[in-house]
Amino acid sequence: MTEARRLLVACLCAEWCGSCRDYRATFDALSAQFSGQADFAWIDIEDESDALGDPDIENFPTLLLADAGGLRFLGAVTPHAATAERLVKNALAGELPAIDGAEAALAERAQALVGSRRGGASSQSGLE
């Protein structure tokens, strides 16, 4: 029997983005706080464009939350830790409905990318 897929919290960013660099400490703190419950990945969408299917991300940083049931959230976030913390808690509690459409395919590609890079061994993956 396979274990259910854990919640993936991915920050979709770009190296040139100052807001992303500023958000990194907040994201790392979230990763430490929820490491026992979710997997975290920092993904540079320009470096991983092919693997992600060349996503059309317009605002940075963008959080992607997905689990075995699909995409739960995809959107730009403010640099306030409480906002992202609330999103993660709601996703873990099953309070965010699945999102269908093209965005759902992005979640599947991000989960596959993180899984292939990590090999299932770590709770944080920096795909920079």
Question: What is the tens place of the pLDDT at every residue in 40-70?
Answer: 999 999 899 888 988 888 888 999 999 999 9
Fold of 7-127: Glutaredoxin (3.40.30)
pLDDT of 36 strictly over 50:
yes
Residue 4: predicted pLDDT: 60
How much is the average pLDDT of 102-106? 87
Burial label, 97 (beta-carbon count in 10 A; 0-12, 13-18, 19+): exposed
**Is this structure's pTM higher than 0.75?**
yes
Confidence of residue 8 (pLDDT cuts 50, 70, 90): very high
Task: Domain ranges for the chain, please list them.
Answer: 7-127
How much is the average pLDDT of 101-122? 80
How much is the average pLDDT of 15-22? 90
